[in-house]
Amino acid sequence: MLADRDVATVDKLGRGVAHEAHKYKGFIRFRELKQGFLYACIEPQADILVFLAPHFVQRIGDRPWMIHDMQRAQAAIYDLKQWRLLQGVESSSTPEYTQIEEECTELWQHYFKRMAIKERYNPKLQQQHVPLRSRKYLVEFEPIK
C-alpha cells in the first residue's frame, strides 16, 4: 500500500523515527553522578525514549540509569528491576559528576583531540556522521577544562 500517499507518509515518518533511535543508541553518553547512577541527556527531534530504554536495559542492566529527554521534559529511568517513562522531568541544576567521571571525561577529551589528524580535518564529513544537534551532550565535543 506504499502507493497510497497517506500510507507512504506514515511509513516515511516511521522510518525516520527508527533511524533517529538507532543513531542515538551510539550518541548517548552516560556519566556517573554522585548520587550513584548513570545519567545521560539527549534532545532528539522525535520522541524516541521508548525505543532506547529496552536497548540500554540489555546493555547496562547492572547499573541504575536515567536518559533525560531535555526537549520533552521526560526521562526513561531504570532501577535494576524495570524501566519506566516519567513525564514532567525538569533539570533544576547542573549534574554533579563523580571525581572518577571527571577524570575519565578529561582523559577522553584529550584522547579525542590528540587522535585527530590536523591534515585530514574534514568538518563536513564529521557533521554527516555526528550532526551538530547531537553534539551538545557528547563529552568529546565539550570544551576541555
Q: What is the pLDDT of residue 143?
A: 81
Total tally of structural domains belonging to the chain: 1
Domain that holds residue 120: 5-141
Q: What is the pLDDT of residue 43?
A: 94
38 CB neighbour count, 10 Å cutoff: 19
pLDDT tens per residue across all 145 residues of the chain: 888 999 999 999 999 999 999 999 999 999 999 999 999 999 999 999 999 999 999 999 999 999 999 999 999 999 999 999 999 999 878 889 999 999 999 999 999 888 888 899 898 998 888 888 888 889 888 887 7
Q: What is the 3-state secondary structure (H, E, C) of 19-76?
A: HHHHHHHHHCCCEEECCCCEEEEECCCCCCHHHHHHHHHHHCCCCCEEEEECCCCEEE
Q: What is the pLDDT of residue 145?
A: 72
Q: What is the residue type of 128?
A: Q
Q: Kind of pairing, strands 74-78 and 83-87?
A: antiparallel
Q: Please identify which residue in the block is written with the cell numbers 533544576.
A: 92
Could you tell me the three cell numbers for 22?
A: 538507532
Q: What is the pLDDT of residue 75?
A: 97
Rounded (5°) CA angle 93-42-113 = 95
